[in-house]
Amino acid sequence: MKYIHQMNIHLKKEVNMSYFLFKTCRKCSLVLIFMLILQSIKAQDDFSQLNAILTKNEKTFGKEYVVVVNKAGKNIFLKQSEDFNFKMPAPIGNSSKWLTVALVMIFVDEGKIKLDDQVTKYLPIFEKYMKGFINIRDCLTETTGVEGDANGILKIAQKNKFESLEEEVNFYAAKRLIEDNPGTHFSYSSVGLNIAGRILEVITKKTFDRIAQEKLFRPLGMKASTFYNENGATNPSGGATCSAFDYINFMQMIMNKGVFNNKKVLSENAISEILRNQFPDAKKRSSPELVAGFTYGMGCWIQEENGNGSPNIISAPGFSGTWPWIDFSKKYAAIIFEKKTLTQQRKDLYMQIKNSIEEVLK
């Protein structure tokens, strides 16, 4: 009996100890959960500076703008205005170039074209007018040497002049002067990307917009995106319409080395080519003031490089309200998306916004 009594005492002690440990662990768990909630609230509050900047500049942005910040595939900051939201499409101007370059690189990955192919292989008219040395790489890097668009003014005035991309590119071949040897001078214009877009039409026997839908927009879930233009020629260099969420999908693919939703859209090599300054020694004949100090990859600007010469920050400003960028060092993508056309962007304001985001993510 004495032995049984001792066993009961021992069992009671174990039960009491278990109950004590349970209460202690429960308290610790509650404290941990509470701390995580506070941390989450604090992380959200960290964007208060960004919200303050956006509120202060409401008149500049107007009633139709959104801002999206995406990290690790999740939208960690969302801001939409009174009359515009994240899924609504709008023209993105020269931010289209990055999309077109990616589309061309899909065909390079498939072995249907090569970057060093001369354009005359697909467009013999360029040989006829003594422009036979231009290759596809020159087209994607704005180094064709063909006379540009007079800082965009001529292009705007002629936006409805051509009925098709074929007609427009034939005009470049026949009527535009060769100002420089290909690959020697950088001249920001619509010429190179539109030539490249026409090459895709020739090899597929499809319209450029249809090619973009099948090869790029659908695989990336870019449901609101199109290059279609009912008023004239399709414009691969500046004629895309898409939503902020669509462009974020595209940049996620770039950040993930060509993969989106576990599906490969581009090869790692293609991404490396897009983000590399192909002609670092090329002289600048024309370049927008907004991107002074940046270098150029393919369809996108290299804002900052790391110590190894690899890009830290890549952007593709549309010069009419849209500014998408990727920061590889801090592993996030963001876009300021305005439904505006032909308005002057304020670089200082966008840098303010970018800096406030990075204060949170540092």
Each residue's pLDDT, cut to its tens digit, for the chain (362 residues) gives 444 444 444 545 444 544 444 454 454 454 444 444 434 444 454 899 999 999 998 888 888 999 999 999 999 999 998 889 999 999 999 999 999 999 999 999 999 999 999 999 999 999 999 999 999 999 999 999 999 976 554 454 345 589 999 999 999 999 999 999 999 999 999 999 999 999 999 999 999 999 999 999 999 999 999 999 988 899 999 999 999 999 999 999 999 999 999 999 999 999 999 999 999 999 999 888 889 899 999 999 999 998 888 899 999 998 777 999 999 999 999 999 988 654 456 788 889 999 999 999 97
Give bridge partners of residue 308 from the DSSP assignment: none
CA atoms in the 13 A half-sphere facing the CB of 5: 2
By the 8 A CB rule, do 162 and 234 touch?
A: no
Q: At what angle do helices 244-255 and 96-109 cross, to 10 degrees?
A: 40
In the chain, domain spans: 49-361
By the 8 A CB rule, do 143 and 279 touch?
A: yes
DSSP class of residue 185 equals: E
Q: What is the DSSP string of 186-229?
A: EE-SSHHHHHHHHHHHHHHTS-HHHHHIIIIITTTT-TT-B---
**CA angle, 242 then 247 then 251, to 5°:** 160
Kind of pairing, strands 323-327 and 332-338?
A: antiparallel
Give bridge partners of residue 67 from the DSSP assignment: 79, 336
> Which of 3.30.465.10, 3.40.710.10, 3.40.30.10, 3.30.420.10 would CATH assign to domain 49-361?
3.40.710.10
How much is the pTM? 0.86
